[in-house]
Amino acid sequence: MDNNLIKEIMPFKDLQTIPRKEHITVTFLIEQLRKQLNLKIVSCASEHSCDDRLITDTDLHRPGLALAGYVDLFTHHRIQVIGNSESQYIEHIGQKKCEKAFLEITRFPIPVIFLTDNNELPDSYLKMAEKAEIPVFQTPMETTRFMFLVRDFLEDQFAVQTMVHGSMVDVYGVGIMISGKSGIGKSEVALDLVERGHRVVSDDVIILTKKSNILIASPTELNKHFMEIRGLGIVDVMSMFGIRAIRYQKRLEVILELSLWDESQHVDRTGLNRETTSVLGIDIPTINLPITPGKNITVIAEVIAMNHLLRNYGYDSAKTFQNNIQKKIASRKSKSPVIQRAVDYFESDLE
């Protein structure tokens, strides 16, 4: 990747989003649902028109009111899902009575209709869809589960993305992005973590995808499982360390910002003041770590991951230490200010 482009995408406050997809075809959706989600999908009508039908919205729609004849607020541009409720309504009202309403529905440019729970449409309805070139597919999956999976897939396809410069590593299940100026040693720290049994996600260029309220980090197609070590060159992590050393996606949970030691720089020494960095509108906990010769960044990265896990489980070592100090200060009001050992009696242990 061009060095100038990498410099442009480094500062988090100046991140440029990657243009999101404007649409996907129904053909692409069906292929991915079958391939990625292993869904059983059977074509019922007008499969040949899938290439011309475009999906532009992440939401899905159940056309209950439209089948009842009310189409003033019909969101026809969304994927239409006909489940048990709609099928039983057609059966209850009668096929003939609903034909006019269904014919009215087919006059809208609907991208695709899915029949869930192995529900079926009458042949006359399928002929209307065929005539209007609206694809109709059937799946045995229950409606709520199907809608959840399809919506999640669409949110991923239309998600906001950006690129950042750094190294992304999975440390004890915590996604840590190591950032800092070029040449400061991000890749070397990531490689050392891999050697200690952790997993690299991406080196140098990281693609961040915003899904719901989280950020998912992944490599590009070119740099996946490759690392650049200055003075050594390109390293293929998967070939060298095996499949256990890589993964292709991980949630971003902590940013580890490396910087050169500067005496004038303020450094947090207690951990009580938690800094965050806003990335695509999501606040990510950030650790600013000044480095000096001899400092073991790899071990510190492991401690950062474990400390993050402890906080998630409700234990904060900084606050616990602060509480101990406050209790000791309070107790000194009634006792003489003498520093006490942690152990009252050594017994016979003289080691």
Helix (H, G, I), strand (E, B) or coil at 275: strand
- Phi and psi, residue 268, nearest 5°: -70, 130
204 is a catalytic site residue: yes
Beta bridge partners of 286: 255, 275
- From the list 151, 174, 220, the residue with the least C-alpha distance to 1 is 220
Residue 107's alpha-carbon distances to 29, 67, 100, 129, in angstroms, are 23, 13, 11, 9
CB 251 within 8 A of CB 215: yes
Query: Could you say which of 170, 198, 199, 204 is catalytic?
Result: 204
Residues 6+ apart with CB under 8 A from 60: 78, 79, 80, 81, 147, 150, 151
165 is catalytic: yes
Q: Which residues pair with 179 in a beta bridge?
A: 257
Under 8 Å between Cβ of 58 and 77: no
| 196 classed as catalytic | no
Of 92, 269, 335, 341, the catalytic one is 269
DSSP-based three-state secondary structure for 274: coil
Is the CB of residue 112 less than 8 Å from the CB of residue 80?
yes
Provide the 10 A C-beta neighbour count for residue 119.
Answer: 20
> What does residue 53 show for φ and ψ, rounded to 5 degrees?
-95, 125
Which residue out of 78, 186, 198, 199 is catalytically annotated?
186
The answer to whether 223 and 203 have CB atoms below 8 angstroms apart is yes
Question: Rounded CA gap, 170 and 193, in Å?
Answer: 9
53, 61, 78, 165: the catalytic one is 165
Any idea which residues carry the catalytic annotation? 165, 186, 204, 269
